[in-house]
Structure 1
Amino acid sequence: MSLTLKIALIQSPMHWENPQKNRGMFEEKINAISKDVDLIILPEMFTTGFTMTPQNLDSSEGQKTVQWMQDLAIQKDTALVGSVVIQEGELYYNRLFFVYPDGTFKTYDKKHTFTLAGEDKVYKAGTERLTLEYKGFRICPLICYDLRFPVWARNTSDYDVLIYVANWPIRRINAWDTLLKARAIENMSYAVGVNCLGKDGLGYEYPGHSAVYDVLGEPLTYSEKEEVLYATLEKEHITTIREKLKFLEDRDDFNLKG
C-alpha cells in the first residue's frame, strides 16, 4: 500500500496581537476536525497577525504558544506546523515550529524577511533551510515571502512536500497563486500554501487562497472562505511522475554562497 499524508489547512482570520485569543480560536477549530489527519497547518504568525511591533507582546507568549502546540499535538496524535513570534534576549524571530505527535519539534527561522513592511529591521533572518521527515515524506517548510525566491526552495534534497505558511495580502494575491503552483511544478513536489483571511490591525486585507498543488501543478484543494481544507498526499504519485518525467535529473548544478 502506498504511503499517504492526510493534511488539514486552517484558513482563518486572526485577532491582532492577541496570542491568548488566537490560541483559543485555533484550538476550537482543531477540536472541530472530525477527519483523521496526520498534519494540521496554521498560517504565519498565527497568534498575532503579521505584526511589526512584537514589543507589544509579553516576552513569554512565544513559549506559551510552543507549549500549546506540543500539548495539542500529543492530545490529537497529529503534527502541527505554523510560525510564531519568538523573543530571545533583545532579538525577535519569525520562527516556524513543526511539532511531531510526541511533542518534539524542529524549527525554521524565516530566511527572507519582508523588507517592504520593514520585517528585516524587526526580526532576525534565518540562515538555514529545514528539511524533515514525517510519515515517510520529506518535507520542506518555509514562510510567506520565501515563496518569491525559487533558489531557496530548489529541490536539491529530493523532498516530497513544500509547505508555505503565510500572511499574503489581497493586493498581490495573483503572485501567491502563480508562484505556489510554479514551486510545485519546478520542484516536482506537492506545494501546500496556507494563508489567512480578513483585515489585520493595520488595515491590510488577506483573501485566503490557501491551496494544495500536486507534482504536476494540478490543484487538490483551494478556498477563499473561512474553513478547514483537506487533502491527501500520495507518495506513489510523486515516485511515479518522477520516474516517468525525470526533469529533476536535468536541473542545473550550482551552490549557494552567503
Structure 2
Amino acid sequence: MMEELNVALIQSHLLWENPQANRLMFAEKIQNLPESVDLIVLPEMFTTGFTMQPTNIDDTECEKTLDWMQDLAKTNQVALTGSIVFKEKEYYYNRLFFVHPEGQYKVYNKRHTFSLAGEHKVYEPGLNKLLVDFKGFKICPLICYDLRFPVWARNAEDYDILLYVANWPKPRISAWDALLKARAIENMAYCIGVNRVGLDGTGHQYPGHSAVYNVLGEQKVYSEKESILTTTLSKSHIADCRNKLKFLEDRDEFNLL
C-alpha cells in the first residue's frame, strides 16, 4: 500500500481510425515519462478517435491493443488505462481497460452511450460499475458521457479516485470543467479527467481541458494544449478531509435498480 500515487495524463491528438499509428504515437510519449509514474491515463477511444463506424476497424486490432497495453505496463512497471473500440462476438463496446503492471486487467464498458452522436445505435451499453484496487487506492474509472450522470458515479463504495477518459468537444467544454469539479466535491474524492485535443475525422474540435481536482474541488493540474500532465495524489489528503468534513456520512441511501 502506498501513501502517494503518481499519475500521468496524456492529452493528445488522435489519428482517425488508425490504431497502429496511435499505438506508436502513445508508445513514444510513454517512453519519455519519469520512472516515478505509477498510473498512465489515455483518452477515450485512444486508438481511433470517437468513431461511430467500428466496422472500419479490423477486428484483430482489439486484441492487438490489449496486448500492447499489457506489454507497455509490464515493461514500464506502470498501470495503464484508456478506452478503445472492442468487439466481442457480434457486439461492439466502448471498453475501458485498466491494466496492472503485471499484465492483469479489468474492464469497464461505457454505461451511458452518447445518443446525440448515435453511439447507442452502434455500441452496447455497460451494465456494471468497476472498482479497481491499485497500490492502496480504490479507483472508479468511467467514460466521457458518464460524467453527466452523478447517480452512476455516486461514491457509495468509499473510492478514492474518480477517473474519466473522454473525447469531449469544444462547444460543451464548460460543462466538462464544471462537472469534473462537481464530481470531486460531491464524492469527496480526487477526480481525474483526460480529454483529447485536435480535429477528428468528422470535423469536431477537441480543446483538451484535462485536469485533476482534489477532494475539495481544487484544481491540481490543467492544460488546453497537447501535453502530458503529471501530479501526485495523497491518501492523507483524502483521509484528513473526510475526517474533518464528514459529508459522506450524510449521503442518502438508495440502490440502483
| Interval of TM-score (by shorter of Structure 1 and Structure 2) | over 0.9
1:130 counterpart residue number:
130
One-letter code aligned to 1:159: Y
Task: Give the Cα separation in 2 of the matches to 1:184 and 1:147.
Answer: 11
Percent identical across equivalent pairs? 65
Take 1:235 and 1:88, find their aligned partners in 2: how far apart are those partners? 37
Is the Cα–Cα contact under 8 Å of residues 2 and 236 in structure 1 kept in the other structure? no
Give the drift of 1:32. Answer: 1.1
How far the C-alpha of 1:35 sits from its partner, in A, is 4.6
Provide, for residues 104-137 of structure 1, a one-character-per-residue CA deviation record: whole Å limited to 9, x for no partner. 0000000000000000000000000001100100
* CA deviations over 1:137-165 (Å, ceiling 9, x no partner): 00000000000000000000000000000
SS of structure 1 residue aligned to 2:101: coil
SS of the residue corresponding to residue 25 of structure 1 reads: helix
Gaps of at least 5 residues in structure 1 are none
Task: Please name the residue that 1:204 is paired with.
Answer: 204
Letter in 2 for 1:86: F
For residue 36 of structure 1, report the CA deviation from its aligned partner.
1.2
The equivalent residue for 1:239 is: 239
Give me the whole-angstrom Cα distance separating, in 1, the residues matched to 2:129 and 2:37.
26
Write the distance in 2 (CA, Å) between the matches of 1:60 and 1:125: 22
C-alpha RMSD of matched pairs (Å): 0.9
Give the 4+ runs in structure 1 shifted more than 6 A: none
Describe the shift of the 1:75–1:182 C-alpha distance in structure 2 as closer, same or farther (beyond 3 A).
same
Q: Which residue is equivalent to 1:150? A: 150
Give 2:26's aligned residue: 26
Q: Contact 2:2–2:136 at 8 Å: present in 1 too? A: no
Q: Does 1:173 align with 2:187?
A: no
Q: Is 2:111 aligned against 1:111?
A: yes
Q: Tell me the equivalent position of 1:101.
A: 101
In structure 2, how many angstroms separate the alpha carbons of the residues matched to 1:35 and 1:215?
A: 26
Length, aligned pairs only: 257
Q: Quote the Cα distance in structure 1 between the aligned partners of 2:44 and 2:88.
A: 19
State the Cα distance separating 1:89 from its structure 2 match.
2.0
Residue 30 of structure 1: SS of its match in structure 2?
A: helix
Residue aligned with 2:156, SS: coil
SS at match of 2:62: helix
2: CA distance, partners of 1:240 / 1:31? 35
Deviation at 1:240, TM superposition (A): 0.4
Matched, 1:50 2:50: yes
Q: Is the 8 A contact 1:183 1:191 kept in 2?
A: yes
2:30 and 2:52 map into 1 onto residues whose CA distance is 27
**TM-score, normalised with respect to structure 1:** 0.98
Query: TM-score w.r.t. structure 2 length?
Result: 0.99
